């Protein structure tokens, strides 16, 4: 029997390590034989962590336990391991299982299933078979053709055809070429690449090996943010194991092809998601974009032909080579093939990592997989593509999740962030939040990006502070166009997207802020007015908790709020047990 505890970052954050240690401790105390405690990565159901899977002697999954804190372990051991009866109240429910059943997993096929620190488990599920096939029975041209048939587009944001980038780097002759992996995941709320690196690092490594062979590279670099220590540790272990088994290094699998990989830990600059800025950072320079052309495929890392893909793109490659490009192309839409991984977060009941075929409607991802909106509030919008993307309103929930359809809404698929918003989300404040992020992350090279985003942010801050004025909306739109047109790289060119899409779909909220000095979502505190209604019983709790003594009144009589002293902290509303504090 085997006990497997999910120990990705999400699981560890909720206590999975302590849960695993408790299993080991109690199994040893009870002297239970033939039971091992193992680890795995995140299966995607982050809202259910810590997750514990119990496999029988034939390695078949018996039961999946969820939210297993250390205090539940003794009961599971006693009833299940000793008594042979699963603890039903701790097992995953049918509705929660639907989160996984409604997905189609290619990239995430091994995450939450195998031990990411054990290469034998990866090999047991077909790992490195694609490498053997590619290096011993396929030419580089055949590999590129297979990718062309698959229709795989880069999963890092732009959605550029992968085969074209590989072929462009291959056709540029040079003594030295480089294959780079962009694992610098910078979008707020995005954790797709991290989960792959933590749960199935060999898949990404294998994709890099095949890519290196196809384009003629001998060296690979994984650029991963230093804030991902667990991902880096598992990557380093996986690379060492691959070297020991002959999948990395000189003359791989007895062929003439030599290829090795190293890790470069980045400082977490969002702009380094842009190819040339990433290259500059790896070279030891400040992460700032360069003019193109020349493109990296012509002169990239150390001025040599270079290809850059992100983690998810590489993780697709072994499956495509093993199963054929047509199998991948059979999924998705005509122009957006295969599956896409999304980090589902925000005001959704079941947040986590989801992988679905391209073309699935947004509403299916949010409601069928994500379970709908927390507290059964009204679905308002979803932010796609992170700070570079845009807000898609509820009335467009039927929009298929593919590159073309999402782009038509003004948003982008991006790397896969999907932040759900409900009726309590102020869209003006949401635009302000994302623009504040991109303004801080701007490298400062372009005047339009450096100064333009700052001017736009100042306007948004005025509006959310109740100081908006006539003409602000038009000025935001004018500045947005100039920032998009005048910026050199993708950061500045896409920074105005959240502003433009919120104005496009939620212009009424901007107008309410500016002309009526009201925030309909009751989110922007400077625009709120707190009053006490007749429901007040005079318990005095609000008066005692008010930090500015703005609330007065006698015991058992209705209290009042002095609007001159009120700082809009909302403490009175939080502590009132009679719903007597009204917010307008």
**pLDDT > 90? residue 350:** yes
Note whether residue 460 is domain-resident.
Answer: yes
Structure tokens at 539: 């318990």
Q: Could you tell me if 449 and 374 lie in one domain?
A: no
* Judgement on whether residues 314 and 172 belong to the same structural domain of the protein: yes
Average pLDDT score over the chain: 95
Tokens 């700082």 belong to which residue?
567
- Asked if 299 and 382 sit in the same domain, the reply is no
Handedness of CA 303, 305, 308, 314 (dihedral sign): negative
Would you say the pTM of this structure is higher than 0.85? yes
In a domain, 113, yes or no: no
Query: Residue 169: which of 256, 299, 261, 258 has the closest Cα?
Result: 299
CATH of the domain at 20: 3.40.30.10
- Of the pLDDT bands very low, low, confident and very high (cuts 50, 70, 90), residue 415 is confident
Residue 199 is assigned to a structural domain of this protein:
yes
Q: What is the pLDDT of residue 584?
A: 86
Nearest to 128 by CA among 193, 39, 210: 210
Cα–Cα distance measured from residue 241 to residue 251, given in angstroms and rounded to the nearest whole number: 16
Kindly report the CATH number assigned to the domain that includes residue 460: 1.20.1440.230
| Short-list 115, 191, 536, CA closest to 551 | 536
Q: Is the pLDDT of residue 268 over 90?
A: no
Mean pLDDT, range 246-257, rounded to an integer: 97
Q: Based on the domain organization, do 358 and 470 belong to the same domain?
A: no
Same domain flag for 416 and 437: no
Residue 17 pLDDT exceeds 80:
yes
The answer to whether residues 173 and 272 belong to one domain is yes
Note whether residue 299 is domain-resident: yes
Clarify whether residues 26 and 90 are in a common domain.
yes
Q: Residue 142's closest CA among 365, 341, 320?
A: 320
138 and 261 belong to one structural domain = yes
Q: Cβ distance 449 to 431 under 8 Å?
A: no
Strand 339-346 relative to strand 352-357: parallel, antiparallel, unpaired?
A: antiparallel
d(CA 560, CA 168): 71
Separation between Cα atoms, residue 72 and residue 59, nearest integer Å? 23
Q: Is the same domain home to 285 and 140?
A: yes
Q: Distance between CA 460 and CA 434 in Å, rounded?
A: 11
- What range defines the domain where residue 408 resides? 339-422
**Alpha helix ranges (H) inside 394-540:** 403-408, 427-441, 447, 453-464, 472-486, 490-494, 497-511
Q: Which of 406, 422, 438 is the last residue of a domain?
A: 422
For position 386, which CATH number holds? 3.10.20.600
Domain-embedded: residue 114: no
Show the CA angle centred on residue 68, arms to residues 65 and 74, nearest 5°. Answer: 100
Exposed, middle or buried: residue 568 (CB in 10 Å: 0-12, 13-18, 19+)? middle
Query: Using an 8 Å Cβ cutoff, are 376 and 415 in contact?
Result: no
- Asked whether residue 82 is assigned to any structural domain, the reply reads yes
Q: Please confirm whether the linkage preceding 294 is cis (ω < 30° from 0).
A: yes
| Length of the chain counted residue by residue | 584
Of 369, 400, 422, which one is at a domain's C-terminal end?
422
d(CA 296, CA 294): 7
Query: Which value, to the nearest 10 degrees, does the dihedral of the CA atoms of residues 119, 56, 4, 238 take?
Result: 0
Maximum separation of any 2 CA atoms in the chain, in Å: 89
Residue 100, SS3 per DSSP = helix
**Residues 508, 307: Cα–Cα separation, whole Å:** 45
- Assign residue 269 the CATH number of its domain: 3.40.50.11540
**Local confidence band at 43 (pLDDT 50, 70, 90 cut-offs):** very high
Q: Which residues contact 499 (CB under 8 A, 6 or more apart)?
A: 431, 435, 456, 460, 476, 480
- Contact by Cβ (8 Å): 261, 212: no
Phi (first) and psi of residue 231, to 5 degrees? -60, -40
pLDDT band at 186 (very low <50, low <70, confident <90, very high): confident
Q: Are residues 305 and 166 in the same domain?
A: yes
Overall average pLDDT of the 35-59 stretch: 95
Is residue 111 in a domain?
no
Nearest-angstrom CA–CA distance, 413 and 409: 11
Residue 414 pLDDT exceeds 90: no
Sign of the CA dihedral with 425 first, then 427, 429, and 434 last: positive
**What confidence tens digit (pLDDT) does each residue in 541-574 have?**
999 999 999 999 999 999 999 999 999 989 999 9
- Of 401, 422, 443, the position where a domain reaches its end is 422
Q: Say if residue 158's pLDDT is above 80.
A: no
Give me the DSSP letters along 194-228: HHHHHH-HHHHHHHHHHHHHHHT--EEEEEEETT-
Q: Are residues 58 and 96 in the same domain?
A: yes
| Cα-based distances in Å from 25 to 50, 308, 347, 357, 360 | 17, 46, 38, 42, 45
In angstroms, the Cα distances linking 183 to 303, 311, 385 are 21, 6, 16
Tokens matching residue 175? 């003594």
The H or E element that residue 417 is part of is strand 417-422
Indicate the number of domains in the chain: 5
Q: What is the CATH number of the domain that holds 549?
A: 3.30.70.20
Q: What is the pLDDT of residue 562?
A: 95
pLDDT band, very low/low/confident/very high, at 267 (cuts 50, 70, 90): confident
Strands 178-183 and 530-532, sheet pairing: unpaired
Q: Are residues 415 and 555 in the same domain?
A: no
* pLDDT for residue 88: 94
Residues 321, 315 contacting (CB under 8 angstroms): no
**Is-contact 156 165, C-beta < 8 A?**
no
Instruction: Report pLDDT digits (tens) over 197-227.
Output: 999 999 999 999 999 999 999 999 999 999 9
Q: What share of the chain is helix, strand, coil (3-state, %, to 5)?
A: 45, 15, 40
Q: Does residue 524 belong to any structural domain of this protein?
A: no
414-to-166, 276, 338, 370, 381 alpha-carbon distances in Å: 20, 18, 15, 20, 17
């Amino acid at each position: 029997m085997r006990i497997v505890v999910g120990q990705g970052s999400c699981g560890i954050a909720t206590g999975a390590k302590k849960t695993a240690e408790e299993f080991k401790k109690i199994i040893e105390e009870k002297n239970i034989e033939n039971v091992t405690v193992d680890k795995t990565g995140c299966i995607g159901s982050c809202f259910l962590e810590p997750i514990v899977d119990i496999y029988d002697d034939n390695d078949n999954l018996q039961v999946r336990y969820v939210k297993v804190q250390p205090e539940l372990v003794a009961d599971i051991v006693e009833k299940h391991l000793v008594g042979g009866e699963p603890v039903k109240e701790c097992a995953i429910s049918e509705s929660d299982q639907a989160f996984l059943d409604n997905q189609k997993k290619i990239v995430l096929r091994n995450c939450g299933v195998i031990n990411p620190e054990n290469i034998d488990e990866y090999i047991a599920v077909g790992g490195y078979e694609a490498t053997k096939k590619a290096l011993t029975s396929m030419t580089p041209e055949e590999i590129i053709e297979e990718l062309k048939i698959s229709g795989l587009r880069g999963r890092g944001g732009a959605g550029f055809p992968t085969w074209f980038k590989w072929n462009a780097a291959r056709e540029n002759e040079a003594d030295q070429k480089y294959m780079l992996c962009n694992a610098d995941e910078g979008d707020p709320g995005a954790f797709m690449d991290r989960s792959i690196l933590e749960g199935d690092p060999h898949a990404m490594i294998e994709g890099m090996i095949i890519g290196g062979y196809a384009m003629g590279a001998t060296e690979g670099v994984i650029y991963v943010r230093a804030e991902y220590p667990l991902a880096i540790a598992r990557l380093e272990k996986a690379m060492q194991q691959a070297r020991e088994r002959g999948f990395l290094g000189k003359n791989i699998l007895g062929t003439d092809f030599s290829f090795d990989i190293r890790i470069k830990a980045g400082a977490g600059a969002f702009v380094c998601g842009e190819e040339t800025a990433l290259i500059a950072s790896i070279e030891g320079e400040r992460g700032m974009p360069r003019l193109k052309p020349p493109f990296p495929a012509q002169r990239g890392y150390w001025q040599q032909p270079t290809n850059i893909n992100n983690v998810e793109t590489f993780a697709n490659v072994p499956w495509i080579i093993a199963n054929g490009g047509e199998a991948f192309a059979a999924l998705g839409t005509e122009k957006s093939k295969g599956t896409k991984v999304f980090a589902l977060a925000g005001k959704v009941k079941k947040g986590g990592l989801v992988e679905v075929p391209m073309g699935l409607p947004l509403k299916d991802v949010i409601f069928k997989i994500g379970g709908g909106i927390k507290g059964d509030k009204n679905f308002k919008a979803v932010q796609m593509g992170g700070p570079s993307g845009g807000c898609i309103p509820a009335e467009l929930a039927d929009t298929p999740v593919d590159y073309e359809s999402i782009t038509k809404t003004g948003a982008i698929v991006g790397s896969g962030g999907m932040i759900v918003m409900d009726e309590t989300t102020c869209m003006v404040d949401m635009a302000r939040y994302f623009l504040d992020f991109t303004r801080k992350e701007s490298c400062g090279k372009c005047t339009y990006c450096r100064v333009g985003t700052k001017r736009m942010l100042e306007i948004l801050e005025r509006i959310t502070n109740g100081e908006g004025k006539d003409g602000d909306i038009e000025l935001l739109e004018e500045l947005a166009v100039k920032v998009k047109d005048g910026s050199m790289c993708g950061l500045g060119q896409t920074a105005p997207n959240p502003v433009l899409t919120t104005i496009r779909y939620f212009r009424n909220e901007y107008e309410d802020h500016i002309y009526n000095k009201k925030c309909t979502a009751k989110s922007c505190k400077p625009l709120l007015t707190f009053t006490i209604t007749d429901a007040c019983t005079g318990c005095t709790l609000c008066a005692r908790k008010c930090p500015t003594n703005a609330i007065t009144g006698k015991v058992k009589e209705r209290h009042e709020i002095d609007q001159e002293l009120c700082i809009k902290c909302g403490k009175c509303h939080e502590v009132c047990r009679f719903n007597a504090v009204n917010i307008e």
